[in-house]
Structure 1
């Protein structure tokens, strides 16, 4: 697989977004299910805390263990895929998700769930890092449109996940865990049947490759920005359910609205912004708006107004959808290395932020008050904007590749 991305000039001659081989649709379908797993547990967080006598910070460890293992495992995804091939790496990741999500459903203590979520994170790492490079490599419509398809799968999964999680969670908090296991089994069948054998890279990846990739200033800049931005993202994902005062159904609908806006903006709005403005400037604006939105949620929590928090969560989907597509596109073009290596290096740093932030958000609420996690998350996102502004010269080459 060539690491050279398609340029803006090449795209008009290539197929449309929906003109994809069956293999791309198989991986995209599995991506939808995989990302459903991220939001599926959101509506049941308060129920888990209540039924297992756990604090919000203890329940947040579901996200911490998942993100920590995902981030660390990103370092080995290239090593694994270059030795057993893309197809078997994807299938291995899916099998791990099936096993550990089912074990999570059988758990009886918060410690067991946290541990099994870590195993789930290992499967997630093997799957998502390889899936992105597989979709880009197999797509007939060029890098930019392939990434939009990947982000569409992400948005669809994130939006449907909480809705399904709310329905299953209203029966039992165990329901969403078993739901993921069954859905990923369907994804396994799709990939097994529809994905052709993809030739292994001529050179095998090593554990050092992601670290070498981070030496490129553009990729390092994007990784740092994502690390900081994830403090805001996972404050929203892991902490906001506790201050909205809703049951499983209500939380499912709120995150469904958030996910729908995320999906729509990532597919339809982000490409237009990318074409009209430069990547760094567009990301800076979206991150600033997201930071202000987190402050708005904090004001809702401080004044005891769950309605303001609910509005803030749903509106955040607009900013996050646009930013996700912009930053993923930038990462794929940020370093002269294999796309899978660039994705692994970036994701390693990004998920470390996702590991720290959920637990810290819960602790900040325990130490201070319910608004503090939102204010802190907003402050970290603003620091990401500052980093982006200070180091934006390193992203100039990416903008040039888009015709700017």
Structure 2
């Protein structure tokens, strides 16, 4: 009788706990403000993708010169990530987010008015600065302000990325069919809308005020002394070789116009958004973060390898790009959750340190892909990308004892 009573009480307590735990959609207004601004910010990445071949053709630029649009963007973003925590701790999250939006709007508008590839590459670097301020702070803001735990907050952030990246190519293809300048002016316009929305919806509450503890420029480097954070950062840098090889170089081998590229990357982005929200949490609960991440990375490496072997088979490459979206959506959520739980340092500092390393990979990969295609052929960039992604899995496995605690931390949350 006593045992039955205890079981009943335990069930009741569990049921109450589940009821009290806020769901994914039960977020404060401030979280939704950042969420919608993030969708618009990430449209910028996808907007440019369908017009890469057009930019190469109309500005008389080689593939490697055109892929520098991603390299300058990611290189500046990698370095700028190191100062985002310092800036945020001094002027607050809201002002940092708005500053990032203003910089993106300014440099994308100037990019649309530019007349040469090198001018455009430089302006994309300025765009990367704005994106660094916005992206790093947006993740921290959503995780900090959310009332439903790290995992659900990160799922929401990854959903915003997926929605932005998926809608972006469709708009980019439509605007790019008129002129390659269209998407650049489109981003500037969307950023103005994001600025207005964030200014109105995001409160000046206590959590948005300047932190009492000022963050040092050295904090992200100190954070990398935590082996787990360093492992995830290096693994992400290796994995981003594959990610940005696909994003920056696939448009050159698909043989499609702006509209066609827009639809392919729409499919890619939709799968990325859906899996990051619905599939990644299930994989994490059933198999654990590290095992799920390694499986997704192995499958992504195999997809890149297939693209490298059958580069001239259009339907296969199109299918591979779209399928890769599902694998990347899962992996992005899994690795971001792992980073947030990897070490005891502040979330903003952990995000800055991790992002610095991963965007270094994102900076090198696009230019390397373009160069390899010019020196050898269009298959080599995908094969090299696959090798780097395989290396990221090996690196995680070799350091498994330093990172396998992340699932226990999430359970504690």
- Report the TM-score range of the alignment, normalised by the length of the smaller protein: over 0.9
Give the structure with the larger helix fraction.
2
Query: CA–CA distance in 2 between the matches of 1:338 and 1:29?
Result: 24
Aligned partner (choices 19, 22, 25) of residue 18 of structure 1: 25
1:272 is displaced (CA, Å) by 0.2
Query: Deviation per CA, 1:277-318, whole angstroms, max 9, x where unpaired?
Result: 1211111000000000001111221xx212211111000011
Aligned partner (choices 402, 405, 409) of residue 394 of structure 1: 402
Secondary structure of the corresponding residue to residue 35 of structure 2: helix
Q: 1:382 to 1:12 in 2, by over 3 A?
A: farther
Query: CA–CA distance in 1 between the matches of 2:76 and 2:285?
Result: 36
Aligned partner of 2:323 in structure 1 is 315
Aligned partner of 2:258 in structure 1 is 248
1:402 is displaced (CA, Å) by 3.4
Secondary structure of the corresponding residue to residue 310 of structure 2: helix
Secondary structure of the corresponding residue to residue 130 of structure 1: helix
The answer on 1:384 being equivalent to 2:359 is: no
Cα pair 2:46 2:169 within 8 Å, conserved: yes
Aligned partner of 2:297 in structure 1 is 287
Query: CA–CA distance in 1 between the matches of 2:265 and 2:17?
Result: 37
Aligned partner (choices 166, 180, 183) of residue 187 of structure 2: 180
Aligned partner (choices 205, 209, 233) of residue 219 of structure 2: 209
Q: 1:398 to 1:13 in 2, by over 3 A?
A: farther
Aligned partner (choices 120, 136, 140) of residue 127 of structure 2: 120
Cα RMSD (Å): 1.2
Query: CA–CA distance in 1 between the matches of 2:171 and 2:17?
Result: 40
Structure 2 gaps of 5+ residues are 1-15
Larger radius of gyration: 2
TM-score by length of 1: 0.96
Aligned partner (choices 275, 287, 290) of residue 285 of structure 2: 275
Query: Deviation per CA, 1:102-159, whole angstroms, max 9, x where unpaired?
Result: 0000010001110110000000000010011101111122211111100000000010
The answer on 1:129 being equivalent to 2:136 is: yes
The answer on 1:363 being equivalent to 2:371 is: yes
Structure 1 gaps of 5+ residues are 1-8
Aligned partner (choices 49, 52, 59) of residue 52 of structure 1: 59
The answer on 1:338 being equivalent to 2:338 is: no
Q: How many residues align?
A: 394
Q: 1:100 to 1:176 in 2, by over 3 A?
A: same
Query: CA–CA distance in 2 between the matches of 1:10 and 1:380?
Result: 43
